[in-house]
Amino acid sequence: MPKPENKKDIDRLLGLITYVGAFIPNLSDKTLLLRELLKKEWHWDEQHDECLKVIKKCLSKPPVLRYYDLDLPITISVDASKSGLGAFLMQNGMPVCYASKSLSKAEQRYAQIEKELYACVFACERFHAYIYGRTDVVIETDHKPLVSIIKKPIADSPSRLQRMLLKLQRYTFKLVYKAGKHLFIADALSRAYEPESALSAQLSSAGYTQHE
């Protein structure tokens, strides 16, 4: 997740942190510098970089990030912004995995409903190892029309949506609507994704291709 560039980015980040705040000890102390930025003129410096590093560590290790449990139901929250997708998988209200992706120039021109369905496809494919063969998966979206479209025959949808719906056929899940103001983590990830070039470089240095 790149560093925030304005107060709106700070608001989204704080929303994400607050969502899992019950599992972060001394949360108010860890977020103090970020909260102070909301009250004064914008000035990001090394102190804030260090604060962000601490928060990232908290979000990516126990007790916030939990181990996957085969016996617990799965909830996946997804969101699409104008230039990125965000998703996270949770069990018992705690994150198991985070995922985000930047949209290509062509994908950015998709209609919003196409982006929102693409977010579902992205999440299912990214979390394939966790959800394939499961029947207790719920996917949350803040795009209400998507819930009704996914219930209709595939042939009734436009061609681009048909292709995405076909990709989702191998997964069993229930799609539910949830107001965007409550999708804190997915919303933050869809707007603070890692640039595609940086992600490719990381995967390459680790010996993987992006497809893997």
> Both 86 and 133 in a single domain?
yes
Residue 192 CB neighbours (<10 A)? 20
3-state class (DSSP) for residue 205 = helix
> Both 109 and 188 in a single domain?
yes
Q: Domain limits at 21?
A: 7-59
Q: What is the pLDDT of residues 68-117, one digit of tens each?
A: 999 999 999 999 999 999 999 999 988 999 999 999 999 999 999 999 99
Give the predicted TM-score (pTM) of the model: 0.80
Residue 18 CB neighbours (<10 A)? 13
> Both 48 and 97 in a single domain?
no
Identify whether 23 is part of a domain.
yes
Task: Answer whether residue 25 shows pLDDT above 50.
Answer: yes
- How many structural domains is the chain composed of? 2
Nearest to 79 by CA among 52, 59, 99: 99
Beta pairing class for 94-102 and 137-141: unpaired
Q: What is the pLDDT of residues 152-182, one digit of tens each?
A: 999 999 999 999 999 999 999 999 999 988 8
| Dist. CA 66–CA 60, nearest whole Å | 9
